[in-house]
Amino acid sequence: MGPFLWHGAFLALTMAMIEPNTVLPALLGELTDSTAVLGVVYSILLGAPLAFNLLFSRFQQGFAKKKKFLLIGIYARSLSFVGLAAVTFFAASLGPLLTLALFLLFVFLFSISGGFAGIAYTDLIGKTIPSEKRGSLFAWRQGIGGVVGLLGALVIGWLFSPSSLPSPLNYTVALLIGAAGLWFGAFGFWALREPEAPVLGPQNAKKPDFLSDVAGILKEDRRFLLFVVLENITALSLMVLPFYMVFLRQTFAEATAFLGVYVFAQTSGALVSNLLWAWFSKHFGSSVVMRLCIALGALLPALAWGLSFTGPLWFAGLFFLVGVVVSGRNIGFEPYLLEIAPVQQRTLYLGIRGTLNVFLVFLPLAGGFFIQVFGFMPTFALVTLGMLAAFVLTFRQEATP
């Protein structure tokens, strides 16, 4: 488990520097006031790897070893951070249109390289970690990553304190630290011994009726089909996460000064809940973890509305629960998919799952426009209703053989 834990620690440092639910929305707020633009960025961030997942998985399925694809993806992500840092630092001289265009380009590179690496990463876990130890791996990875993430939150707190670096230098330094974290995190995988896996062969990799094969899998494997439907519905919860920070910035002018607090709170929520989620996964299964995670996701929008009547510091409680939900998704959804996916078709299942998560492509974009036109409260209400529907669907999924 060592290489995965090493990578997880440095990845946590990287993600703290560009935390998608706090730091990144604040950075975009410096570049534009449009929630629609924020929606476009998150559609790329969440949806681009899914749009290419089927292509990537089909390509990688023809190779017995996939570690090289993981390393290529990680280093491409590191370069995208360097590009984002440069665009942020020179934004004033580049102008708003060119800045946004380049920003979107490097976000796209960051996103698709993550999808390319993620397929190989999950396949390596399936190859090298026994099924009974995977829940522990995810829990340990999040635990170690949580501790490192807290240190990253302290760095963010220093960078964005009023007496520290001015904008955009604070964002630039954060992005460069993130690039270094990805680079060092890849070192652990160089020593990983990857066993060869059975492949379907080049003749099957190029079958012209591939799409009918996908349709056949979805028709025959009802649990997998319900899992895909469930992930699409719960994308509502993921869609709204970055807009909490936008809502907060519009409600309280001084919110950016609390970025370090919010990152620390979210990381603490993930860390504190980590052992609890691992215990539930071990004793009741990953499906129960998914159900509890979905129930909490339904409560977050109402909490955000209630906290708007208090003060910016109280929103740390909201981000604490965001960390709990994100942690639960990691420990629940991915291990459950590994449980139900046949070994020889694991890579194909991962690709189908990613590509059919179409809501992740469109929901952030739709959410940005919806908020722009109707406001935050109707959007929050819609998310709550969708998550409650997903909660009901989990019981049907459990009853499916």
- What contacts 205, CB < 8 A, 6 or more positions away? 58, 61, 62, 199
- Closest Cα partner for 215 from 355, 44, 50, 36? 355
- Give 153-199 pLDDT, tens digit per residue: 999 999 988 888 888 899 999 999 999 999 999 998 887 887 776 66
- Structural domain boundaries of the chain? 2-399
CA atoms within 13 A on the CB side of 24: 23
- Closest Cα partner for 290 from 397, 170, 158? 397
The average confidence (pLDDT) of the chain is: 84
207 — pLDDT class (breaks 50, 70, 90): very low
- Give 243-276 pLDDT, tens digit per residue: 899 899 889 988 888 998 999 999 889 888 877 8
Read off the pTM: 0.75
- 10 Å CB burial of residue 225 (0-12, 13-18, 19+) is middle
113 — pLDDT class (breaks 50, 70, 90): very high
pLDDT computed for residue 182 by the predictor: 94
Q: Is the pLDDT of residue 400 over 80?
A: no
Six-digit token string for 375: 């406001």
> 48 or 225: which carries more pLDDT confidence?
225
Q: Is the pLDDT of residue 108 over 70?
A: yes
CATH 1.20.1250.20 fits 2-399, yes or no: yes
- Give 4-17 pLDDT, tens digit per residue: 899 989 998 998 99
- What contacts 238, CB < 8 A, 6 or more positions away? 46, 360, 363
Continuous segment of H or E residues that includes residue 33: none
What are the contacts of 369-374 at 24+ separation with CB within 8 A?
A: 369/35, 369/36, 369/39, 371/35, 371/39, 371/243, 371/246, 372/34, 372/35, 372/36
| C-alpha span between 264 and 1 (Å, rounded) | 26
Query: For the chain, what is the largest distance between any 2 Cα atoms, rounded to a whole number of angstroms?
Result: 63
| C-alpha span between 138 and 184 (Å, rounded) | 20
Q: How far apart are the first and last CA of the chain?
A: 32
